[in-house]
Amino acid sequence: MKKLVSRLFALLMAIVMIFSFSACGGDNDTTEPESTTKAEEVDASVEETSGTEESTEDTSATDDTDVSATEDNDDVTTKAPVKISAPVNGSTAQIVKFYNDYANATKAYKGTVKIAKSEGSTSEFTEIKGPVGLLKGILNGMLKKATGEPRSLNKTFKNGVSSDGDKLIKFLPPSGKNYMSALEPAGAKSATCKQVSGGYEVEIKLIQEVVGYNGKPKWHDCTMDTLTVDDKDVEPFEIVKDNSCKFDYTGATIKAVFDTQGRLKSLSIEEPVMITATLTKGIISLDVEIKGCWKQDATLTY
């Protein structure tokens, strides 16, 4: 009751001061701050006459409110993420640039990032011409050796290096290059960007590229790891390294998800290739066609 009376008295004094100010008129710039100050002083004076316990409770409530507001403001100014502007439904050129910029920033990331990666190939002979009846097992073993077994890797990188010394620029494609993509619109058959939960999904399909023995398909090579084959991969055969040997990259697909801050969250690459080649061993000559596909998936956690 005493607290209520004190507050009513303080309010009454404040109203009196305001009406006194209105009656006197004068310069608003100098008088208004003075009246406000006096009202506050009266309020403070009256509060001091209240019981000690009641005054403490009131101050505590006020302090809690102020701290909460300050903490919220700190979160906004120091922790709020900067949201990116993604080219949703944009042109191929806009989407390719967006992918280049933010994918490349991933390889330059200096913080801590955990990456779970799986990769491997599937392949099959689609056509074999020659005396292959007794050699089929050898050919299948040769193909398996060339493509390797699928594998899964989990590593944590800090400042671009893992605890075992592996480097981020090597772990993510293209392996060993300091960028993830140097793609240009001319190398993209199609490109889409759409908003998904928590960010944006980019899908880019590359154009078809045909190269000779161990040739470098320009656009595939600047966005992913491409196939290389040498004679030891096809032992006991040898590859005839002429125009009969072709690597047809029919058009790889890149799918990437970025969060609203532009950080790469997941990457999926599917790279189909048709290989035509002539394999020789002594008097044996085999014309073969191989359908293969390289797949690589990575999930990144910051």
Q: What percent of the chain has pLDDT over 70?
A: 68
Whether 10 and 139 map to the same domain: the answer is no
Q: Per the domain annotation, does 84 fall within a domain?
A: no
pLDDT value at position 69?
A: 37
Q: Is 212 helix (H, G, I), strand (E, B) or coil?
A: coil
Q: Per the domain annotation, does 154 fall within a domain?
A: yes
Q: Per the domain annotation, does 85 fall within a domain?
A: no
pLDDT value at position 135?
A: 65
* Number of domains the chain contains: 2
Whether 178 and 240 map to the same domain: the answer is yes
Residue tagged 């060993």 (tokens): 176
Whether 212 and 99 map to the same domain: the answer is yes
Q: Per the domain annotation, does 86 fall within a domain?
A: no
Mean confidence (pLDDT) of the chain: 78
Mean pLDDT of 12-32: 41
Highest mean pLDDT: which of 71-75, 133-137, 234-238, 274-278?
A: 274-278
Highest mean pLDDT: which of 58-67, 93-102, 219-228, 232-241?
A: 93-102
Q: Per the domain annotation, does 253 fall within a domain?
A: yes
Whether 14 and 117 map to the same domain: the answer is no
Whether 51 and 139 map to the same domain: the answer is no
Whether 193 and 222 map to the same domain: the answer is yes
Whether 123 and 46 map to the same domain: the answer is no
Whether 178 and 212 map to the same domain: the answer is yes
87 vs 64, 83, 186, CA distance in Å?
A: 44, 13, 18
Q: Per the domain annotation, does 87 fall within a domain?
A: no
The residue count for the chain: 302
Whether 115 and 64 map to the same domain: the answer is no
Q: Of the candidates 36, 52, 79, which is a domain's last residue?
A: 79
Q: Per the domain annotation, does 44 fall within a domain?
A: yes
Whether 58 and 207 map to the same domain: the answer is no
Range of the domain at 71: 2-79
Q: Poorest-confidence range of 57-66, 90-99, 217-226?
A: 57-66
Q: Poorest-confidence range of 7-21, 123-137, 139-153?
A: 7-21
pLDDT value at position 25?
A: 40
Q: Is the dihedral of CA 43, 48, 49, 54 positive or negative?
A: positive
Type of residue numbered 193: C
pLDDT value at position 146?
A: 64
* Cα atoms in the Cβ-side hemisphere of radius 13 Å centred on 228: 5
Q: Of the candidates 20, 54, 79, which is a domain's last residue?
A: 79
Whether 217 and 155 map to the same domain: the answer is yes
* pLDDT above 60 (res 200): yes
Q: Of the candidates 79, 114, 145, which is a domain's last residue?
A: 79
Whether 69 and 117 map to the same domain: the answer is no
